[in-house]
Each structure stands twice: as C-alpha cells, then as structure tokens.
Amino acid sequence: MTHAPHTEAAQHAADAAADHASGVFPPFDPTYFSSQLFWLAISFIALYIALDRFILPKIKTTIEDRRDRIADDLDAAAQAKADAEAAGQAYEKALAEARSKAHGIAAQTRKALDAEIAKETAEVEAELAAKQEASEAAIRKAKDKAFAEVRGIAATATASVVEALAGVEVSEADAGKTVDTLIKSKGA
C-alpha cells in the first residue's frame, strides 16, 4: 500500500511532464477554461461589489464635494466681483460728488470774496470820495479866503493908488465894487 501513494505521485509527475512536454501554457490550455471563467466571474463580481459599495461612493462624494466647492468658489468670486464693481461705482460717485461740492464751494467762496472785495472797494471809494470832497471844500474855502483877502488888498491898493494918482479920496467899499467888476469882466 505504501507503494500506491508513490505510484500516484509518479503518475502526477508523469502528467505534469506530459503537459510540460505538450508545450501549451497552462492558462491557455482549453481544459482549464471553465475553471478560469468561473474564477474570473467571481473576481469580477467581487471587484464590482467592492467598487459599487465602497470605492465609487467615496469617489462620487469627493467629486460632488469638489464640484460644490468649485461652484461656491465661483459664486464667491462673482459676488466679490460684483462687490468690487459696486464699490468702484460708489467711489466714482463719491468722487464726482466731492468734485461737484468742491466746485460749488469754490464758486461760493469766489462770489463771497468778490462781494467782499466789491463792498470794501465801494467803502474805500466812498471814503476817498469823501476825503476828496473835503479836500476840495477846504481848497475852495482857502481859495475863497485867499480871493477875499486879495480883493480886500486890491480894494485897499486901488483906493490908495487912486488917491495917490488922482488925489481923489475913494472909499474902500467903492474901490471893492470896482475890483469886483474888473474880476467879473476878466473871469467871464
């Protein structure tokens, strides 16, 4: 009996040698196709189940999370762009308002300064006119006083000359009337 197991081993070695000698690669040997197809189907189903239950859901959630994150980032970028444009428009509006106010303030200041200058000019001109009028009045007064003194001197001199030349005594009042007549005839 011990001989039988040895014979079986020898038989198996002989079969292996025959297969080896036939030159066919064992996976391509048609005798093993049915067992290979069976294990291929089992492996495919196991791999499919593992992919479907464990790996694909994780990949799907990762892709969805990434898609959501990208969409959120795009929305945030669009909102930031809109905010930046709104801020730019608000800045331009504020700048235009500031320029308008500055022009308005400059115009008001210019008007106020022009009015103040006109007022001060009018005051100075009025003061100068008053001083000129006072000066002219003083000059007229001095002139009239000088003419009155000259008339008096002329009347006294005329009365003295007539008395010295003609020997006629003339009153100063009569001599003054004569001087006034001569002054009027020369002035006219």
Return the structure tokens found at 153. Answer: 């001197």
Return the structure tokens found at 96. Answer: 């235009």
Domain ranges of the chain: 28-187
What confidence tier does 1 reach under pLDDT thresholds 50, 70, 90?
Answer: very low
Q: Given a cut of 70, is residue 27 above it in pLDDT?
A: yes
Mean pLDDT of 114-139: 90
* Sequence-ordered list of residues with C-beta below 8 angstroms from that of 29, at least 6 positions apart, any chain: 19
What confidence tier does 141 reach under pLDDT thresholds 50, 70, 90?
Answer: confident
Q: What is the pLDDT of residue 140?
A: 86
